[in-house]
Structures are given as structure tokens and as C-alpha cells.
Chains A and B, each alone.
Chain A
Amino acid sequence: MKKALVAAAAAAIFASLASGVSAQSLTVGFSQIGSESGWRAAETTVTKQEAEKRGVTLKFADAQQKQENQIKAIRGFIAQGVDAILIAPVVATGWDAVLKEAKEENIPVILLDREIESPKDLYLTAVTSDQVFEGKVAGEWLAKDVGSKDCKVVELQGTTGSSPAINRKKGFEEGIAAASNIKIVRSQTGDFTRTKGKEVMESFIKAEGGGKDICAVYAHNDDMAVGAIQAIKEAGLKPGTDIKIVSIDAVPDIFQAMAKGEANATVELTPNMAGPAFDALEAYLKDKKEPPKWIQTESKLYTAADDPMKVYEAKKGLGY
């Protein structure tokens, strides 16, 4: 027993020495939800790249979609004495206790991609995209592109009731509010999937006189847009010219379609949430500069003018 105590004390001293030595380079823990979607995988890849670029040692933990795994990982990071923790939270609730522990140890926590229902003083900042703004960018692009022509739009919604579906719909409506010539004539859920997007688009084409009357498709994500492109082709129409395609996310596949002239515009949901997070963190650790509680990522618009093949090449290695 005595020996164990001595060993423990020795280890503790050694540990404190070790942490003193490595004070210059940052060690950051990143608790990711999992790899359920291509975008999520890309976010992980980009976070690792951003860390490497800045000389930050990144400790990565994949929670396999389980909150208990994320809490364990965060506690593990605290025990390790990391300099900061990034979390992409799997659910919005249940973080208070573990975040309090981090706060007591003066470890700043930054949320990526999603916000949580906890007191705002428990985390440094949240880096997320503005989903309403994404929809608005798409809507404004369409309004500018069609000019004063009459335009009937069909909308492929995301999963009913999900926050991206609600917000991206709202934003798009805001974007076209000023243009009275643009009207959403049909709107249905395509569940964010390619197959459902195609099915729903087929029924839209049947319902709208073989598709001749449809001027544009607005899809809440690129996957549904790719499905819709397929349906339009099968109906004997030309996607991109007969029917314009605008969607959100900017996954690699939509750039291939864009290069072929089959898609017109996409708004990027950037997988680079870590870049702004590291910037805020470095500023905070260096000058104690408190960042705003919410950092909005850029929602960049891509069109055929942006060399889609080049973007595709840049994005395809990210794990989408």
C-alpha cells in the first residue's frame, strides 16, 4: 500500500513536470458525434487538418452516436489536462454537470455545429452555421437569376420537423419575398435522401403538366437535388436549363452535376467549423479576449462560374 502511494506521488510529480514542459503547444480534445453522414466525416477530416496546420495536438474521440460516450470522453480530456475541448454535441440536453467540471478546471469548451440547452457561461462559444441564412442565400440567388420572369418553384423539404428543414424553408421564403414573380407551387418532404428526392420530384413533374411549367427546384440538401436531377432527366427534360436546380450543403457530387451543367447553385454548409473555433481559442488563450457566444460560419454560394470540377477535386478527399 505504501509503495503504491509513493508510486502515485512520483507519477503525479512526473505528470506535473510533463505538463509544464509541453505548455507551448496546445493540446485540444475533440469529441465528435460519430460518422453517420458524409458531412460529419468531412468535418472530422477538416478538424484534424486544421489542428495539424496550427501545430495543435488533437485528441480525437468518436462517440458512436452515444451521449454517455461523449461525457466519458470529455471527462477523460479533463483528466488528461487538455488546454481546450471541442464538442459536436449529439443531443441538446444533459451537458451541465460535465461542463461545470471543465469550467472548474478552467478548460474552455467550444461547441461545433450544434448548440445546447445549457447556461451560456458554461462554454466559451458555439461555432455553427445559420440555417435560415443558408436558405436566404439560395432564395436570393434564384431571385437574381430569374430576374423579372415568372417562375414556379417546387421545394424538396428535409425531414419533417427537423430544424434544418424548418429553417432552410423559412430562409428561402425570406430570400424570394421581394420577388413577387417567384412562387413556391409545391412543397413536400424528401427526407434528405436521394431516393425520396427522386420519387417526390417524379410526382411533382406529373402534377405540373409533365414538368414544363416548373422553372426551378429548391432542395434542402444536395442529395435530394441529385435525386431530382435524375427524375428530370428521366422525364425527358434538361436539368439545369429547362428546370433550374438550387440546393444547400455543397457535397462533392453536386459539383460534378454542376460541371455537367445539370445543377445551377449550391450553398455551402462548411465542414470547417474547427478553423474559426481554433482562431477564437488562440485569441482567448493569448489575450484573454472573450469571443462572442455565437460564431457564424460562412454560407458560401457556389455556381457554375466557380470551376466546379476544381471544388470537386478539393472536396472529394475529405471523406464525404
Chain B
Amino acid sequence: MIHARNLPFVTTLAIFVIAYGLCVLQFPNMLSTRVIGNLLTDNAFLGIAAVGMTFVILSGGIDLSVGSVIAFTSVFVAVMVGSFGVHPLTAFLAALVISTLFGCLMGAMIRYLLIPPFVVTLAGMFLARGAAYLVSTQSVPITHEFIDTMLGFYIRFPGGGRLTLLAMVMLVVFAVGIVVASRTRFGANVYAIGGNLQSAELMGVPVGATTIRIYALSGFLSGLAGIVYTLYTSSGYSLATVGVELDAIAAVVIGGTLLTGGVGLIAGTFVGILLQGLIQTYIVFDGTLSSWWTKIVIGILLFVFIVLQRTIIWYSDRRLAVRQLKEV
């Protein structure tokens, strides 16, 4: 018996499997290791950012700064490596420290100044985008031996597909995310805060520290996504990844996480990402559809899932009420 709370996740998984099946029926080439490798590599940066976003949304918050932080990181790394000759690893480390501190700061403002996350991270979005422009308005190429080695590292599947380092990073982030969310105290605290802030506080959940950690985690993962994006395009560009936070939110919601917080799975987000990637791949394979159909289908899926979630909540509330009535 599937628990009602996991129903959105199971639905998404079913939709993904059926959709993939239908795609393969039309284009047999889509069932190749190459397409699967592409799905993982092309969506690596989005997936990493979406893990951070899942934690934020599970806690009942939102982080709109993700896309800008990715762009900032990519420009920052590109300029550090390309113009100043810093070793990529040093640049990566510096970028991660900056993005994590940036997340910390936003978390602290949300908690201690009691400003809604939407407002704080909106400001963060403009700030990070502005900072990216300040670093460079041009697209900055990176060429470094170390980066070439990183990009050259991949596991080849039979059939020509490849599991790149970028895809591996994303898979590791998802694996760690799943463990953290389901097996650690921090994960439990996130669910508790998202479920009901007052009762979490009454139960002695360290709300302040957890909130700051959630946004720091999202900042860190946005920074990591930025590094992956930099490697993906071997360049940094301040205009890049506009609106990626919305794609991440869409993946999280399609993956079955409740936008109001408290319910959801990191694994669901993974399926959400794959589903988005699948739609894009299908449109490229078809080659005649307008690529804006991606947005339309995502929009429809979002509507369906929000309605589904609402129905589940309504249904379980009613069941609860009926049971209470019986006990009386």
C-alpha cells in the first residue's frame, strides 16, 4: 500500500516511465545509453541546484537567488582562472566559500529579521546578478589543462553514451541529499520546520541554526552548480542561467514536494529533473515542434501536481476528521 504522502512521487515516477516508453516507441534511438548519458550530463547543474532547492522548499521557504548565484560563480571562476591564472581548484574553493556565506547571510536575515524568504532571496537574486555583471559582462572562456582533464574524464557505456564527471557529481549530490534528508537530525529538523514552525519550536528544534544551515546548503549547492555549469560550457557568462531557479522549483514540485513544506522526497526531485530533460530531448528528436512546448508541458504538469497535492491533503484531513469524530 502506497502511503498517500508518497503518491505524488509515485505518480511522477509512473509518468516518467510511461512518457519515456512512448518516446521510445516513436523514436527507438531514444533508448540509447547516449540519451541517458546526455540526460544526466545536460541537467547536472540544474539537478545540483534542485537538491538545495528541495531542502529549502521542504522547510517551507523558497530560494530565488539560485540562477544568479550560478551565473556569478561561473563568471567568478572564469575570470579567476582565465584572467588571473589562479589554479581552478583554488577558484572553485573560493567560489564555494563565497556562495555558502551568501546563503548563510540570507538565512540569517530570514530568521532574525523575520523577512519572508521570498523577499530576502529576491534581493539576493539581484545582488548576485549585479555582482556577476560587475566581474565581467563578456562571456569569458577558460582554458586550463586541469579543466581539460576533468572534462576528459568519463566512463563510456556500450553504445557510445558517457557518464561524465559532471553527471557523477550530480548523482553523488543526490545520494548525499537523500541520506541527509532521511537519516540525519538536520534532515528531520528541516521536515519539522516545514511541517509546522510553531510546534517545531515547541519541540525544541533549533530553528535558527537549521534555517541558516538550509540557506547555506542551498548557497553551497548553487555554487557547486555554478562550477559544474562553468565546466559544462568551459566559460563564464553573466547573462547565463536566467530563471534556472524556476526550473529547479518546477522540478521539486513535479517531484512531489509540497510547496508549503514538510512533505517531499529528494529522489522525487531527481525524477522531476529527468522528466524536464526528457521533454526537451523529445522536442529535439522531433525537430519540428517549437521549443516553447517544454514550458507549456511543464506548466501543465505543475498545475496537475498542485491540484493532486491539494486533493491528497483535503482527503487525508477529512479522514482524520472522520476518525476523530468516531473516537468522540
- A contacts, CB < 8 Å to B: 7-8, 11-12, 14-15, 18-19, 29, 57-64, 66-69, 71-73, 75-81, 91-94, 96-97, 105, 117
Contact = CB atoms under 8 A, between A and B. Distances in A.
B112 to A, nearest CB: 36
A67 B34 contact: no
Given A67-B240, A91-B237, A117-B141, A59 B284 contact: yes
A23 B253 CA distance: 43
Contacts of B232: 68, 71, 97
Q: Which of the listed residues B141, B151, B240, B288 has the most CB atoms from chain A within 10 Å of its own CB? A: B141
A94 B235 contact: yes
B291 A94 contact: no
Nearest to A17: B28
Contacts of B284: 29, 59, 61, 72-73, 76-77, 80
Contacts of B285: 59, 76, 80
B32 interface: yes
Contacts of B139: 91-94
A96 B281 CA distance: 21
19 contacts: A7-B31, A18-B28, A29-B284, A60-B288, A66-B240, A67-B240, A68-B45, A68-B240, A69-B291, A75-B41, A76-B281, A76-B284, A76-B285, A79-B29, A79-B38, A80-B29, A91-B235, A93-B140, A93-B237
Q: Which of the listed residues B28, B234, B292 has the most CB atoms from chain A within 10 Å of its own CB? A: B28
Interface in B102-120: none
A68 B27 CA distance: 23
Interface in B289-326: 290-292
Given A14-B28, A59-B284, A105-B160, A67 B290 contact: no
Contacts, number: 108
B34 A78 contact: yes
Contacts of B281: 72, 76, 79
A216 to B, nearest CB: 34
A274 to B, nearest CB: 15
Nearest to B230: A94
A104 B278 CA distance: 24
A141 B234 CA distance: 44
A59 B284 CA distance: 7
Contacts of B159: 12
Contacts of B241: 68
B42 A63 contact: no
Contacts of B31: 7-8, 11-12
B287 A75 contact: no
A72 B281 CA distance: 8
B4 interface: no
B283 interface: yes
B280 interface: yes
B35 interface: yes
Contacts of A60: 287-288
Given A72-B42, A76-B285, A93-B235, A11 B291 contact: no
Interface string B144-166: 00000001000000011000000
B140 A81 contact: no
A92 B287 CA distance: 24
B198 interface: no
8 closest pairs, A vs B, by CB? Answer: A59-B287, A76-B284, A94-B233, A94-B235, A93-B141, A93-B235, A79-B34, A91-B139
A306 to B, nearest CB: 35
Interface in B1-34: 24, 27-32, 34
Nearest to B21: A7
Nearest to B161: A79
A106 B146 CA distance: 26
B229 interface: yes
Given A18-B28, A61-B284, A72 B235 contact: no
Contacts of A7: 31
B127 to A, nearest CB: 22
A257 B86 CA distance: 56
Contacts of B28: 11, 14-15, 18
Contacts of B237: 67, 91, 93-94
A57 B229 CA distance: 32
A11 B235 contact: no
B287 A12 contact: no
A64 B283 CA distance: 13
Nearest to B45: A68
B32 A58 contact: no
A67 B237 CA distance: 10
A93 B234 contact: yes
Contact of B290 (A62, A73, A91): A62
B291 A67 contact: no
Given A59-B286, A78-B34, 4 more contacts: A11-B31, A58-B287, A68-B229, A79-B29
Nearest to A78: B34
B38 A75 contact: yes
Contacts of B41: 75
B201 to A, nearest CB: 41
Interface in B231-251: 232-235, 237, 240-242
